[in-house]
Amino acid sequence: MVDRTFAIARLPGFATIAVTVFVLLYLPIAMLVVFSFNAGDSVAIWEGFSFRWYPEAWSNEAVKAATWRSLQIATAASIIATTVATMAALGTTRRRQTKGQSFVYLMINQPLMVPEIVTAVALLIFFSTIKVATGYQGLGYLIIAHAAFCTPFAYLPIRARLESMDLSLETASADLYASRWQTFRYITLPLVMPGAIAGLMLAFVTSLDDVVITLFVKSAGQDTLPTYMLAQIRRSVSAEVNAISTLLLLLTVVLLTAFFLLTRKRT
Amino acid sequence: MTADPKARAEVRRGWLLSAPALVLLAVGATGPLLIMLVYSFLEPGQYGNVEWVLSFKAWFNVIMNRDIFDGTLTFADAHLSIFWRSAKLALLTTFFAFITGFPTAWFIATRSPGMRTALLFLITIPFWTNLLIRTFAINQIIRNEGFLNTFLLWTGIIKEPIVMLYTDFAVFIGMTYVYLPLMVLPLFATIDRFDMRLLQAGYDLYASRWQLLRYVIVPVVKPGIISGSILVFIPALGAYVTPRILGGGRNMMIGNFIELQFGQGRNWPLGAALSVVLLVIVSVALIVYTRFATSGGNKHHG
Amino acid sequence: MSHDIAVEARDARKVYGQGIGAVTALGGVSLQIRKGEFFTLLGPSGCGKTTLLKLIAGFESPTTGHILLDGSDITFDPPNERPVNTVFQSYALFPHLSVADNIGFGLKMQGRPKAEVAATVTRMLALVRLDKMADRKPGQLSGGQQQRVALARALAPSPKVLLLDEPLSALDLQLRKEMQIELKRLQVETGITFIFVTHDQEEALTMSDRIGVMQSGHLLQVGDPRTIYTRPANRFVASFIGESNFLTGTLDGTALTLDAGPRMSVEAGQGAPTQGRVTAAIRPEQIRITSATLGDGIPAKVTQTVYFGTDTHCRVVLKDGTEITVRLQSPASGDVGLHPGSEVTLKFEPGALIVLPEAA
């Protein structure tokens, strides 16, 4: 297994630990997926192959509603997050460093630095007051909260994309008679696009996966897929949750692979 | 800053473009934190929420108890043991994630480019995969009727299932499992920049592999070790989902205890105060980290 | 106002920052560049040549002073309203656009009709010999080809002036030589005024109609390559363009008594003193060495010889301690017959010695 070319960088035992880590990292997930196809109830004893848990999960109205709600929130939140993050990235990169810039940077990355439970509690306090004051109980709160903590995830790839972009391209465009708007339309925007799409996907995945903030912000009957699953896990273990998990996993892997290919293919 | 009108217009445009993001984060993240701080100085309401009366009771209650009958002061043992368990588990998780994460990151960084990309992708997938699903996967493995016990019983190694779920051990294993990618990724980033010619120089000067590790590799990749440790420590300390699924009701961490104050506990001010405490601990860790990282960075630049 | 002036800088100053931290990049430069001229700004990095280029292109505005194009003041016109185009050091080709779209970009932005854009692009592709590459992306081209695209893109809108910011520095030696010839050809064919910025003195000498030598934000000398090389205005120009040896002596009219030897007559240098202690410069290839120690000439002792193939460089020391390099053509045998310790006499034409304005 060990590549002789890198013998100089080989450290005793490291390869063994690394391979073990990879195996242990995937084993639980693999088991989860495998047992979503179990014919029986058990998540440990194999009773034969069956698809029964997938239709079973889907026939559950609560699952359907939670899925639909999760997708709605993730779509709205990731679009909002990507839009504001793209604008902020354009406003903060590739120019002389100022104090204001690091303030913006700090604000945008703030959700990454504060423990999720703290943000969740703070939002509960804030939104419960507003809910009482306005009487509005809709998905708006969840969308705002999700958009806020998804913004740093959208911002990072866009910023990286902008920073790797040659500054002289915009200068060249101005030199070739393009107005500010034309430069943005024909040069900056097309070049930023892969970063923005990557950011959109990361934001979508992040929103789709959130448990804690959703749990505290949601009004009664606003379960998303993860909060529904959390409630199920507490109650009883059934392979239905495995089936839902497997589908969510699949979606994440597809989005991540797309993200990966998108950011790798740099011209 | 400058008198140059061009530069000033540029700065103004920068602010305008950043404004929507700033508003969103002020409403959806930063602003509520300040309101939470205010709430920690209020009286709890009878059915949750608060009474708008200034009170320091919540802060007092973070560490002290006043006996309802005779008014004597005692340390809030239950609170302190939760703090202690949280810190202990978070540190243990960080340490174990480092012990396993460092060799993994090194292994990835020393592969051929194609292999490296593939392995890195394999580390990234769990990182972006739903935390709940990953914790749930661990739950299924270690529960009494789970895969591990079933397997051990079947082989005859054990006669009774080993109780692992709903113990501190389960929380520790679960957190190490879910936060490991956070250790590996920054470590990989620094090791990737590590100049492997330093190893040749080291061998040339008679160092053994262990001496190289101790005197060359670890000091050079220190920034990565620190950022990896911070990235694991912060979410581990404030963990909510993992201790809830793997620790059960008795083995609470701060996160679960805070939640309790907003549920059955009906003591929002105490919950707010505890959140502020957690926030302060994390901020201190972050500040120490930035100071350390910047001073270390300066040293490298000479 | 003269009609044959394309670009003029009038006392252009550029200061970055304010107060104590202020840095003067350009310290009041006045310069006239003629129409259809290949003009080179030559100087070491940080001399202000790129700053001057940016002022002409419009990417920066001068702190004080003016920039004129065809006699009209364009000092504060934005770059997209100036009929001036730039070939960037990094080429700055738009990576998401094809070669043809890159070349047509300027015309498209000006709102020219599609047919005209297409025709010009075809013409430009032919001009830079990239006809077959029209649909490629810049990433699929070699360095030399990218360079040609950058040139074609800047020439396509038929600018009044083409600015070239060290465009050849990223190319290897072989390609650089080819592109020098190519650039000169394009300039002659299009008749457009070229302002070329470089730190490479050989590039400047071979391509330019006139050269402006810059140092520390100031223009030291403007002239055609021959004048710059044979009559450098000061010590910096003498040593930056080609190599020079410096001799000290005492001048009385046209009679110069060198500290290291004989008295000789010299031509009066431009702006140079006519009396007192002076420094004079002489090119290494202008000196001849005779092994005889007699006769007029400067007595010297060989300290080192270094073989360079076509040339042999011979280091000698004069009796006042001055070290001098002499460049000799290597003979067929390769051996100039000089060895460390040899006593020799240096000789040169009186006109080869240039009295510099700086005091000794």
Across the A/C interface, how many CB contacts are shorter than 8 Å? 68
Assigned domain for B137 exists: yes
Q: Within this chain, do residues C69 and C215 fall inside the same structural domain, yes or no?
A: yes
Which of B130, B150, B282 faces A209 most closely, judged by CB atoms? B130
Assigned domain for B199 exists: yes
Assigned domain for C109 exists: yes
Write out the residue range of the structural domain in which residue A207 sits: 56-264
Sign of CA dihedral A130, A132, A133, A135: positive
The pair of structure tokens assigned to A122 is 């703070």
Q: List Cα–Cα distances, C221 to C193, C225, C232, C324, in angstroms.
A: 20, 11, 8, 25
Assigned domain for B273 exists: yes
Assigned domain for A228 exists: yes
- Mark yes or no for CB contact C61/B6 under 8 Å: yes
Output the domain CATH number for residue C292. 2.40.50.140
Q: Within this chain, do residues A71 and A175 fall inside the same structural domain, yes or no?
A: yes
Q: How confident is the model at residue A70 (pLDDT cuts 50, 70, 90)?
A: very high
State whether residue A167 sits within 8 Å of chain B by CB. no
Query: Rounded to an integer, what distance in angstroms lies between the CA atom of residue C96 and that of residue C88?
Result: 18
Instruction: Give the pLDDT confidence of A102-111 residue by residue, as tens digits.
Output: 888 889 988 8
Assigned domain for C288 exists: yes
Considering C166, C200, C230, which residue would you say is the last residue of a domain? C230
Output the domain CATH number for residue B173. 1.10.3720.10
Q: Within this chain, do residues C144 and C196 fall inside the same structural domain, yes or no?
A: yes
Assigned domain for B296 exists: yes
Q: Within this chain, do residues A144 and A219 fall inside the same structural domain, yes or no?
A: yes
Assigned domain for A41 exists: no
Considering C175, C195, C230, which residue would you say is the last residue of a domain? C230
pLDDT at residue A13, rounded to an integer: 84
Instruction: Give the pLDDT confidence of B123-150 residue by residue, as tens digits.
Output: 988 888 888 899 989 988 888 888 888 8
Lowest mean pLDDT among B188-202, B216-230, B252-266: B188-202
Q: List Cα–Cα distances, C110 to A176, C55, C104, C105, in angstroms.
A: 8, 22, 10, 9
Which of B13, B107, B254 faces A15 most closely, judged by CB atoms? B107
Domain count, chain A: 2
Q: Within this chain, do residues C132 and C222 fall inside the same structural domain, yes or no?
A: yes
Residue B297 has pLDDT above 50, yes or no: no
Output the domain CATH number for residue C59. 3.40.50.300
pLDDT at residue A237, rounded to an integer: 61
Assigned domain for C240 exists: no
Chain B closest CA to C58's CA: distance in Å? Answer: 12
Q: Within this chain, do residues A139 and A217 fall inside the same structural domain, yes or no?
A: yes
Assigned domain for A160 exists: yes
Assigned domain for C317 exists: yes
Q: Within this chain, do residues A112 and A167 fall inside the same structural domain, yes or no?
A: yes
Chain A closest CA to C109's CA: distance in Å? Answer: 5
Query: Rounded to an integer, what distance in angstroms lies between the CA atom of residue A31 and that of residue B214?
Result: 38
pLDDT at residue A45, rounded to an integer: 77
Query: Rounded to an integer, what distance in angstroms lies between the CA atom of residue C161 and that of residue C7?
Result: 8
H-run or E-run covering A65: helix A61-92
Residue B279 has pLDDT above 90, yes or no: yes
Which of A178, A191, A267 faces C80 most closely, judged by CB atoms? A178
- Mark yes or no for CB contact B29/A88 under 8 Å: no
Assigned domain for C237 exists: no
- Mark yes or no for CB contact C18/B6 under 8 Å: no
DSSP code at position C110: T
Assigned domain for A42 exists: no
- Chunk chain C into consecutive blocks of 10 residues (it has 360) and report each block's average pLDDT, rounded to whole numbers: 83 86 89 94 92 91 92 89 90 90 91 93 92 91 91 92 90 87 90 94 92 94 93 90 89 82 73 81 90 77 89 89 89 82 86 79
Write out the residue range of the structural domain in which residue B219 sits: 73-301
Q: Within this chain, do residues A74 and A200 fall inside the same structural domain, yes or no?
A: yes
Instruction: Give the pLDDT confidence of B207-217 residue by residue, as tens digits.
Output: 777 777 888 88
Assigned domain for B12 exists: no
Q: Within this chain, do residues C226 and C256 fall inside the same structural domain, yes or no?
A: no
Q: Within this chain, do residues C68 and C205 fall inside the same structural domain, yes or no?
A: yes
Which of C57, C92, C154 faces A166 most closely, judged by CB atoms? C92
What residues in C contact A181, CB-CB < 8 Å? none
Lowest mean pLDDT among A202-216, B7-21, B65-79, C189-203: B65-79
Assigned domain for B158 exists: yes
Output the domain CATH number for residue A174. 1.10.3720.10
Counting residues of chain B whose pLDDT is more than 70, the rounded percentage is 90
Residue A76 has pLDDT above 80, yes or no: yes
Assigned domain for B62 exists: no
Assigned domain for A50 exists: no
Lowest mean pLDDT among B20-24, B263-267, C127-131: B263-267
Q: Within this chain, do residues A139 and A241 fall inside the same structural domain, yes or no?
A: yes
Q: Within this chain, do residues A249 and A144 fall inside the same structural domain, yes or no?
A: yes
pLDDT at residue C290, rounded to an integer: 84
Q: Within this chain, do residues C85 and C49 fall inside the same structural domain, yes or no?
A: yes
For chain C, what's the residue count? 360
Chain B closest CA to C16's CA: distance in Å? Answer: 10
State whether residue C90 sits within 8 Å of chain A by CB. yes
Write out the residue range of the structural domain in which residue C171 sits: 5-230
Query: Are the beta carbons of C9 and C48 closer than 8 angstroms?
Result: no
Average pLDDT taken over every residue of chain A? 86
pLDDT at residue B296, rounded to an integer: 46
State whether residue A178 sits within 8 Å of chain C by CB. yes
Report the pLDDT averaged over residues B146-167: 84
- Mark yes or no for CB contact A121/B108 under 8 Å: no
- Minimum Cα–Cα distance from C19: chain B residue: B2
Q: Within this chain, do residues A119 and A210 fall inside the same structural domain, yes or no?
A: yes
Q: Within this chain, do residues C216 and C110 fall inside the same structural domain, yes or no?
A: yes
Assigned domain for A46 exists: no
Torsion of CA A220, A226, A229, A234, to 10 degrees: -80
Sign of CA dihedral C76, C82, C84, C90: positive
Which of B1, B121, B238 faces A115 most closely, judged by CB atoms? B238
Assigned domain for B29 exists: no
Assigned domain for C156 exists: yes
What residues in C contact A189, CB-CB < 8 Å? none
Assigned domain for C286 exists: yes
Q: Within this chain, do residues A96 and A150 fall inside the same structural domain, yes or no?
A: yes
Domain count, chain B: 1
State whether residue A133 sits within 8 Å of chain B by CB. no
- Mark yes or no for CB contact C18/B2 under 8 Å: yes
User: Could you give the angle at the alpha carbon of B161 between the alpha carbons of B160 and B167, nearest 5°?
Assistant: 130
